[in-house]
Chains A and B, each alone.
Chain A
């Protein structure tokens, strides 16, 4: 157990809809990162938040957005869903104090299916 939880576990949406995925980080972890893992692939970095501010973004369009709250919870929002957005979405929390050696603790993921 990593102490990181995500909800919901599974979600089915149709193309064009909007979705919000939620993550609860470990207490004291000021950094949360979100990853997209397509079937048969490694996780791809979407973005990272530190103390409620976005401080890094991967190669994902603006319709992927996020929020981080003071209570160590966070959200990933995806607008105008496309079929290719079907994937496992993982959040990972870390202290943000050890730079490149920081260990990221992953949640179990939310499986999103877009029809």
Chain B
């Protein structure tokens, strides 16, 4: 069965520091992977997605993620954190079971310290 695991339910970084949010996947077929962000009291917004076209995927707000098959990882990074990046981040895999549905990780709450 396909799944994703997010390591670290809470991550704190200083403003201007590197952001690294970890996501590992489990899949017997080439996966389609997504990163979403959820701000307080809001729905989920797509940051980026991996569709097998390129292993380094650039998204919105300066975020990017690299698909590494050998490590079954799809970690999200941003070179310099900003206060507005404080939110909850979810990694998801698209799973085929008659239709396509998302399987989400449990989320990582990012805190940015001034």
Indicate whether A45 sits within 8 Å of B102 (C-beta atoms), given known contacts A101-B49, A103-B49.
yes
Beta-carbon contact of A55 and B98 below 8 Å: yes
Query: How many residues on chain B are close to A (CB under 8 Å)?
Result: 27
Beta-carbon contact of A100 and B99 below 8 Å: no
Beta-carbon contact of A103 and B104 below 8 Å: no
Complexed CA–CA distance, A6 and B44 (Å): 13
Main secondary structure of the interface of A (DSSP, over half): mixed
Beta-carbon contact of A56 and B97 below 8 Å: yes
How many Cβ-Cβ contacts under 8 Å join chain A to chain B?
A: 70
On chain B, the residues within 8 Å of A55 by CB distance are 98-99
Closest to A9 in B: B41
A104 at interface by CB-CB < 8 Å: yes
Main secondary structure of the interface of B (DSSP, over half): strand
B45 at interface by CB-CB < 8 Å: yes
Interface size class of A (residues with CB under 8 A): 20 to 34
On chain A, the residues within 8 Å of B28 by CB distance are none
Beta-carbon contact of B44 and A106 below 8 Å: yes
Chain A 45-63: CB-based contact to B (< 8 A → 1; otherwise 0): 1001010000110100000
What are 9 A-B contacts with C-beta separation under 8 Å? Answer: A2-B43, A42-B90, A42-B107, A43-B90, A43-B102, A43-B104, A99-B100, A101-B49, A104-B102
